[in-house]
Amino acid sequence: MVMPKVSIVLPNYNYARYLDERIQSLLNQTYKDFELIILDDASTDNSIEIIEKYTADPRVKTKYFSENSGLPYQRWNDGADMAEGEYLLIAGADDSCHPTLLEKLVDKLDNHPNVGLSFSQSWKIDSEGKRLSSMKKWTNDLNKERWNQDFIDAGKNEMQYLLFKNTLPNASAVLMRRNVFLKAGNFNIKMRLTADWLQWIKMLEISDISFLANPLNYFRHHEGTVTSKAVKSGLSLEEAYQVQKYIIKNPNLGLSKEIIDKASDIFAEYWVQTVVDTIKARSKIDFSRQIRVYRIAHSIDPKITERLIKKFSRRLLNLIK
């Protein structure tokens, strides 16, 4: 039996309203050598009814779970375990894509054996599918020129940017070499927001990166996303510090003290601002989470928390005045 070149994993939970568009955007790709693995995480809407419409296609495989995992990245790993292709893509059930996405990304991996991750720029779209803006805005504060054109670069060179934020912000745009993914290990299911960010870092420690400036992926933003909920709860900051710690504590990445200090200052400024905003809004502060964040930051470098205390003291004094 001939194995497919690409395995597309499509995890779904209660995204029935987007599934027709999503599945069709994948089955209608100009590149045809793939399997589509659809995993439903015990949806309570009519997701399975929609998925069943496509099971006659021999490329489609399904797995329906009777209990919800409660873990955003668990089904990503389950799908990766089922995958048989040389390349792997995790497709968000609420996202969409251009018909040539696979064709363009596969070409990069086929012709550059050292590349472990190939990704395209994304359009940010709303709940109705309307284009809002290019996701290039997400990285403009890091480098306005770098993401203007296609590039192939050493994976470790991306760390100077990944230290600040996830420069591959939507997994739906990322085609992975599966053997590199396996060497890096599965997505960390203890994380609810940043396991993909950490995964790219681990893969780029041992491989190179390819980028397509043409926005071939459509990244949907709406209130129901895991990202939206995690940002509001403050979990995003806690997990971002965990990712930052992984990079800073890795001696093989060789980041300069100047870059590390700059990232630490930006994180501290954001942290203080979120606490101040919470106080201004007279909302309840999750002190247990704040303590966890403090401990993570302190374990990276005590100087980080020293700067944090100074920043917070000045802001608090201004707030009292």
What is the C-alpha to C-alpha distance for residues 75 and 60, in angstroms, rounded to an integer? 16
What is the C-alpha to C-alpha distance for residues 222 and 304, in angstroms, rounded to an integer? 34
Q: What pLDDT sits at residue 228?
A: 45
CATH topology of domain 6-222: Spore Coat Polysaccharide Biosynthesis Protein SpsA; Chain A (3.90.550)
Residue 309's pLDDT band, with cuts at 50, 70 and 90, is confident
Residue 107's pLDDT band, with cuts at 50, 70 and 90, is very high
Mean pLDDT of 284-290: 82
Q: What pLDDT sits at residue 277?
A: 78
Assess whether pLDDT exceeds 90 at residue 223.
no
Domain ranges of the chain: 6-222, 229-320
Q: Are 208 and 89 in contact (CB under 8 A)?
A: no
Of 40, 48, 26, the closest CA to residue 75 belongs to: 40
CA dist 292 to 2, 56, 171, Å?
49, 49, 27
